[in-house]
Amino acid sequence: MSSGAKPGRGKDKMVAGILALLLGGLGIHHFYLGSTTAGIILLCVSFLSCGTLAMISGVIALVEGIMLLVMSDDEFNAKYNYREPEAMEFVFQKKP
């Protein structure tokens, strides 16, 4: 494997964390990581509530963004690169 190459699916921990911090209220980081149903739920909560519940989505995204950034590389790779995440999988759930 060449230097800098990402294992498996090629997802980057830093990109996922930054997406969660900046656009996480819309669930963008879930689309990037492959948990599309979780992303759609956060997106719908933000839009269908006309932004009134976006703060809840934002808090969830902030927590998930911090968790992604402090997660070890080995843990991130095991969770997002060496396997396909479930459609309804959030970062704070314990999965291999």
C-alpha 9/C-alpha 50 separation (Å) is 34
Instruction: Give the per-residue pLDDT at 19.
Output: 95
Instruction: Give the per-residue pLDDT at 1.
Output: 42
Q: What percent of the chain has pLDDT over 70?
A: 91
Instruction: Give the model's confidence band at 4: pLDDT under 50 very low, under 70 low, under 90 confident, else very high.
Output: low
Instruction: Give the per-residue pLDDT at 5.
Output: 52
For the stretch 24-62, pLDDT in tens is 888 899 999 988 898 898 888 888 888 788 788 888 899
Domain ranges (residues) in the chain = 22-81
Q: Pinpoint the alpha helices (H) of 1-96.
A: 13-23, 28-33, 36-48, 54-70, 73-76
Phi (first) and psi of residue 37, to 5 degrees: -65, -40
pTM beyond 0.75: the answer is: yes
